[in-house]
Amino acid sequence: MSGQPTLAHLHGWDGPWEGLRVLVTGFGVTGFSAADTLAELGCQVVVVDAAATAKKQDDAATLTTVWGDRLSFRFGSTDPAEDPTATINHFDGQNPELIVTSPGWRPDSPIMLAAASAGVPVWSEVQLARRLGARPGARQPDWLLITGTNGKTTTVTLLEAMLTAAGRRAVACGNIGMPVLDAIRDPEGFDALAVELSSFQLHYTEPPGQYEANPLAAAVLNIAEDHVDWHGSLKGYLADKARIYEGVRSACIYNAEDPVTEQMVAGAEVLEGARAVAFTTGSPDVSMLGVVRTEDGEDVLVDRAFLDNRRHQALELGTRSDLGQLVPKHLVANALAAAALARAAGVPPEAVQQALGSYQPAEHRIQPVAQAEDVLWVNDTKATNPHAAAASLSSFSEVVWIAGGLSKGVDYSELVQQVAPRLRHVVLIGTDASQLRSSLERHAPQVPVTEVPGGDDGVAVMRSAVAAADTQAQPGQAVVLAPAAASMDQFASYIARGEAFIEAVAELMRRKGFNS
């Protein structure tokens, strides 16, 4: 486009977006929202996606009906030479001036390498949303950001509930389901956005510029080795996670029990006056949130950060029992992180406690599904990495562990060493369980292992795994599905894996004459 201003000037709904050549990579939920937004702005948009599913074809037809020739689509082909995701040249011989990418598109994919070679900027949908801000006339929200290896969805959901309990118009968005672009396009606007961010989104999100609203507060819940294959190294993964603190104007929330998160805060470029605030599942010091045990054994969640007399006082935010009956340590940590973000936004203690009391555990995350013969069956299919599996298994004293799946280039040694004293038997699933089996042989040789034969029929595999676990489980023990691996080798998703487990346990209970 002749005379096109630099991308630094692309901000606000009335900015010079008209005619800008934008390539949108990926046409899932995020890609749809990005394409719709960019077309509304008047950009010339081409969407590329490797898969031409019926839903994507229908969604493309919907946007074409609304925006006409502002949009065009290039879906995957069976011919590799015609793969639209291998090149950025989709504008009649010209390169795009901007790429907006969906989470998950690896930096070493052909299209991203082509963008880097051509010097084309790549933004996440979060970056685009921050450039735009709320619609003219709508309220501008405070951004409250959350990332971490595990616990993001639980924390962002709790944060949304705390903000809502305080009478704020708030929404959980980002990696949790609703795209950030959908939130900022709301005609009324929000008082606050509780934004879950993955490391993938953060990789393609720049620090706030002079035209963007700086986040009010941000939190990193925990850090463990994950997605190393995507980021290229653990160092790259950590660097992308640390981006969340850039430009924070009020509070950087970190985990006092995870030194890496504190180091991220120490190295962050924040606005003058931003504070470092920690959370801990132990007794808190000044400028921390934590847990105090009363004389009668009650665990009370308290705030020693967001009050004037924090050296000598603590505000009660609720109790551990407010969260339910089965409250593992990591859930307490997530609740404290959410409370810290809420308190940074001025939410009163009583609203925090109201949200804790109404909390309902999410499906597939340390979800009790049956109890019979004094054996508890627990579905934690969402524990897709060693850190999440360790948190899950540490919630029980004696465990029959169902584990395995698609490894993501991680080392299981630390996990096995940590949980070995709790393990009574391990049932391995997955098309290749060699890495996990090897770690068990080295670090928990005393623990017996049953390996379920691999195959493409995940339902049958899970049925066999549950049957094997049943023959080993003793009264007082828990059978826990915490795979420490992705699901795609034998299941469509981690949810499908969890549902297969639930159904297999229900079938077992029916055979035994119990109501699951």
Question: What is the C-alpha separation between 463 and 502, in angstroms, rounded?
Answer: 10
**How many other C-beta atoms are found inside a 10 Å radius of the C-beta of residue 225?**
18
User: Which amino acid, residue 191?
Assistant: D
Is 247 annotated in a binding site? The answer is no
The residues with which 145 forms a beta bridge, in sequence order, are 195, 218
The per-residue b/e assignment along 229-253, b for 16 or more CB within 10 angstroms, e otherwise, is ebbeeeebbbbbbbbbbbbbbbbbb
150 assigned binding-site residue: yes
Closest CA to 14 of 41, 34, 38, 37: 41
3-state helix, strand, coil in the chain (%, to 5): 40, 20, 40
Residue type, position 90, single letter: H
DSSP string over 33-75:
HHHHHHHHHT-EEEEEES---HHHHHHHHHHHHHHGGGEEEEE
Please tell me whether 148 is known to bind a ligand. yes
Report whether 149 belongs to an annotated binding site.
Answer: yes
- For residues 180 and 10, what is the distance between their CA atoms, to the nearest angstrom? 18
Report how far apart, in Å, the C-alpha atoms of 339 and of each of 133, 161, 351, 495 are.
25, 10, 10, 28
In the numeric block, which tokens belong to residue 79? Answer: 């011919």
450 three-state secondary structure: strand
Three-state DSSP at 259 gives: helix
Asked whether the beta carbons of 231 and 237 are under 8 A apart, the reply is: yes
Of 31, 194, 171, 187, nearest in space to 101 by CA? 31
53 is in an annotated binding site: no
Max Cα–Cα distance, the chain, nearest Å: 76
Distance CA 304, CA 315 (A): 7
Kindly state the helix (H) or strand (E) to which residue 231 belongs, with its residue range.
helix 228-231
Whether 162 and 155 have beta carbons less than 8 Å apart is answered as: no
151 annotated ligand binder: yes
Q: Hey, is 17 helix, strand or coil?
A: coil
Q: How far apart are CA 335 and CA 279, in angstroms?
A: 10
- For residue 344 the two structure tokens come to 């940074």
Give the Cα separation of 153 and 388 in Å (integer).
13
Tell whether residue 152 is among the known ligand binding residues: yes
Q: How many residues comprise the chain?
A: 516
Binding-site residues for ATP, please?
Answer: 148-154
Binding-site residues, please?
Answer: 148-154
